[in-house]
Structure 1
Amino acid sequence: MYENCLSHWPVKVESSYVSTSFGQTHVITCGPEEAEPLLLLHGAMYSSTMWYPNIESFSQKYRTYAIDIIDDKNKSMLQKPLESREEYAYWLSEVMDGLGLGVAYMAGLSYGGQLIVNFAMHDPARILKCVVMSPAESFVSFRAEFYAHAFGLVSDPNGVENFNKWVFADRYQLPPYFVDQFQAGVLREDSLSAGKDRKRVWPYVWADEELKSITTDMLLLFGEHEVMYNPLEAMGRAVRLLPHVKAEIVKNAGHILSMEQADLVNEKILQFLSE
């Protein structure tokens, strides 16, 4: 399912693995070899194939590395569970080392966005600039409705369909091949990821002092129709606490704004990174 999704990408890609302390991390690379690096971190259970509406624009200017987040539903192979936010930052640092990158631009959505906020606290010197879209929690807690839909993904035969309707409403239609991959990811289990005794690390809402410590230049984007939390409340807290943030609400978009308003989001990201 993953490879089928990747076959629909509009650009030539290279697939490789980076060894880390926690397992083998799968990376999709494209764009000019001599260009500045841009790391992409996907949303939970979506995998790096979710960047199909964005990758052509990004890879025209940047050497783009779409990283399959380890311990999620993708082609990375977990060998040792990560048990703290510090370990997630260390994992990403190891991926950069394996790619031969000292510093990079970064962009992430949802779970990937939260991991970038986390990395900005633990290893800020390695981020040139970052774009965080619809971060999972981070600034405010999820609504109870999120957990109902999340649990429904695995407990309800129609869970994937219901989740997509909740997230997208009638604004965007996912391609069938991507829905098939999402469904396959929901159903896929492995012994390490399914461990019931593991410590819960994410999602997480940072304290004021933690957020104030971030010095990285950040573009923070929320969808107008975000359903997982109140986007205005999240943006207000971010603007109040982050010293170097530019925050915007994207009209006619929800949580997955990189898909719903791809052209607009691509333009905003590229403009911010080049400023």
Structure 2
Amino acid sequence: MPKIGRFTSDEAKADYLRIYDAWAERWPIPSTVVDVETSFGTTRVRKSGSGTGAPVLLLPGTSGNGLVWQRFIEDFASERVVYTPDVIGWPGRCVQTAPVRDGADVAKWVVETLDGLGEDRVHLAGNSLGAWMAGMVGVYYSDRLASLTMFEPGGATFAKPKWSLLLKFLAAGLRPTPERMRKLNAWLTPRAQ
């Protein structure tokens, strides 16, 4: 059953948001922060750059947030407006109030975020799981896209994953402990260690 993303404790939330805010202060170009109300909760979006034409909206990979684009934002925003949202239900400054149940809900959340930003069409790009999310917008709301770009989409974006992969996720998710989640994350991102 889909759940609402939350921190494990008030202390964990305070620690995370302190680090998040310190990282946000390092954003290399002028930007504004907008909180957009959607039917899934409040979405935090950072707006950078200026220019004419359809803006760019960038979706991060698994458990990422809009700040992951920091090292690329100067190039992306050199000629256009670029939006880098946190993902509802993932670590960041969104406040989720309703579960996101499937790909249709993901697409609806992105489109409601665009509506809240006052944007009709965007160049939508996503990395990894964000690429799958972008693909869902293409499936359900292609009229809202000026273009669709997928950076390093996972195998499950285009094909069914192997049972061994699903079993790894199941083993970690049935009884999630900090240690199991660390092991799964280390396995998923071996070069990030």
TM range (shorter): 0.7 to 0.9
Residue 14 of structure 1 aligns with which residue? 32
Q: 2:185 aligns with which of 163, 171, 175?
A: 163
C-alpha change, 1:161 and 1:88, in structure 2 (3 Å) is: closer
CA-based RMSD of the aligned residues comes to 2.5
* Aligned equivalents of 1:155, 1:64: Cα separation in 2: 36
Residue 234 of structure 1 aligns with which residue? none
**Letter of the structure 2 residue corresponding to residue 163 of structure 1:** N
Residue 31 of structure 1 aligns with which residue? 49
* Aligned equivalents of 2:138, 2:145: Cα separation in 1: 7
* Aligned equivalents of 1:88, 1:117: Cα separation in 2: 10
Q: Is the 8 A contact 1:149 1:159 kept in 2?
A: no
| 1:77-133 Cα shifts (integer Å, max 9, x gaps) | 111112232222122111111101010101111121111111101110110111112
Residue 139 of structure 1 aligns with which residue? 158
Deviation of residue 33 (structure 1)? 5.5
Residue 106 of structure 1 aligns with which residue? 124
TM-score (norm 1): 0.55
Residue 148 of structure 1 aligns with which residue? 168
Residue 5 of structure 1 aligns with which residue? 23
**Letter of the structure 1 residue corresponding to residue 158 of structure 2:** F
For structure 1, the 5+ residue unaligned runs are 174-275
For structure 2, the 5+ residue unaligned runs are 1-18
C-alpha change, 1:61 and 1:81, in structure 2 (3 Å) is: same
Deviation of residue 32 (structure 1)? 1.1
Deviation of residue 14 (structure 1)? 1.1
| 1:156-181 Cα shifts (integer Å, max 9, x gaps) | 54854773475243xx67xxxxxxxx
Residue 109 of structure 2 aligns with which residue? 91
- Equivalences, count: 170
TM-score (norm 2): 0.76
Deviation of residue 35 (structure 1)? 5.3
Q: 1:1-275 residue pairs with structure 2 within 5 A?
A: 1-32=19-50, 34=52, 36-136=54-154, 137-143=156-162, 144-145=164-165, 148=168, 151=172, 155=177, 157=179, 160=182, 163-164=185-186, 167-169=189-191
Q: Is the 8 A contact 1:44 1:73 kept in 2?
A: no
C-alpha change, 1:68 and 1:147, in structure 2 (3 Å) is: farther
